């Protein structure tokens, strides 16, 4: 585990983007697992800047998103499909047919989970998985539980998670109650995992996830078992690790 703490968000964003750009420069056909939410926005902005300056091309890259809401139209501004177009895909040279996001509107959600997992298997091992961290320790939408599912699956979102995401919606009632998410087993198979966490409100869960017991009640604690985990924190999020 390599934990890096930064004095500013700008430094953190640049470091995260440099890891991804460096991988793609070295391996133009890299397979990336991508996250959404507020955490990676600055990193994606830096990646777009790298592309516009001619430092990196994404023409041969393949991406798989961690998750997508169930029942939210892809055109909805808060769908993760819209998010990715707005913050990343719409500004790069990556072909649309190389970017994969679960279909939260599939008529058979279980079949969609199997299809998505098969797509990941066919693409080969993820070279890098980018992650954020939920207040309750969730990664992707893998919520705390007595047992965690390995592969892509449908999950009912915890109320705490829905409340945290309500800032993106008009009301809490507008936040979807379910999502499709990669399972922890799929995440842990990535060659490299980059966990990004910001803010004092995440300091306790960062400490628990990285130093506490490994337990499914804190899904992020399973990241301690990964052989190539890089953790990028701002000072506030890392304050309890000092």
| Mean pLDDT calculated for residue range 16-23 | 98
**Which of 95-104, 138-147, 227-236 is predicted least confidently?**
138-147
| Mean pLDDT calculated for residue range 225-241 | 96
Specify the pLDDT at position 43.
98
| Mean pLDDT calculated for residue range 212-220 | 95
| Mean pLDDT calculated for residue range 75-93 | 95
Specify the pLDDT at position 94.
98
Reply yes or no on whether the pLDDT at 179 is more than 90: yes
Report the predicted TM-score, pTM, of the whole model to 2 decimal places: 0.94
For residue range 204-213, what is the model confidence (pLDDT) as tens digits?
A: 999 999 999 9
C-alpha distances out from residue 110 to 143, 155, 204, 212, Å: 18, 11, 35, 33
Specify the pLDDT at position 165.
85
pLDDT band at residue 36, thresholds of 50, 70 and 90?
A: very high
For residue range 132-173, what is the model confidence (pLDDT) as tens digits?
A: 999 999 999 898 887 777 899 999 988 888 888 888 899 998
Q: Report the DSSP pairing between strands 178-181 and 153-156.
A: antiparallel
Q: Which two tokens stand for residue 30?
A: 């890299």
| Mean pLDDT calculated for residue range 114-129 | 95
Specify the pLDDT at position 133.
96
For residue range 41-65, what is the model confidence (pLDDT) as tens digits?
A: 999 999 999 999 999 999 999 999 9
Specify the pLDDT at position 157.
87
Handedness of CA 197, 200, 206, 207 (dihedral sign): positive
| Mean pLDDT calculated for residue range 62-78 | 94
Q: pLDDT above 70 covers what percent of the chain?
A: 100
| Mean pLDDT calculated for residue range 228-233 | 98
C-alpha distances out from residue 121 to 14, 125, 126, 152, 231, Å: 30, 7, 9, 11, 25
Handedness of CA 30, 131, 234, 47 (dihedral sign): positive
Reply yes or no on whether the pLDDT at 79 is more than 90: yes
Q: Which residues are catalytically annotated?
A: 67, 136, 138, 143
Reply yes or no on whether the pLDDT at 111 is more than 90: yes
Average pLDDT, the chain: 95
Give the closest residue to 152 by CA, choosing from 66, 35, 29: 66
Ordered by where they begin, the domains of the chain are 2-241 (3.40.50.1360)
């Amino acid at each position: 585990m390599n934990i890096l703490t930064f004095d500013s968000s700008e430094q953190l964003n640049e470091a995260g983007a440099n890891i991804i750009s460096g991988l793609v420069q070295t391996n133009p056909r890299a397979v990336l697992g991508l996250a959404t939410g507020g955490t990676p926005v600055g990193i994606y902005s830096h990646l777009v800047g790298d592309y516009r300056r001619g430092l990196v091309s994404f023409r041969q890259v393949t991406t798989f998103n961690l998750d997508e809401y169930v029942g939210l139209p892809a055109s909805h501004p808060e769908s993760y499909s819209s998010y990715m177009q707005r913050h990343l895909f719409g500004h790069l040279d990556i072909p649309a047919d190389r970017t994969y996001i679960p279909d939260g509107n599939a008529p058979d959600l279980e079949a969609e989970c199997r299809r998505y997992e098969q797509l990941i298997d066919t693409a080969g091992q993820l070279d890098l998985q980018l992650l954020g961290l939920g207040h309750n320790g969730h990664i992707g939408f893998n919520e705390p539980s007595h047992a965690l599912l390995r592969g892509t699956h449908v999950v009912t979102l915890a109320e705490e998670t829905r409340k945290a995401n309500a800032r993106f919606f008009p009301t809490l009632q507008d936040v979807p109650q379910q999502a499709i998410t990669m399972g922890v087993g799929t995440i842990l198979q990535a060659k490299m995992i980059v966990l990004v966490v910001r803010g004092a409100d995440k300091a306790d869960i960062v400490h628990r996830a990285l130093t506490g017991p490994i337990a499914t009640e804190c899904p992020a604690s399973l990241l301690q078992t990964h052989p190539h985990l890089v953790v990028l924190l701002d000072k506030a999020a890392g304050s309890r690790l000092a």
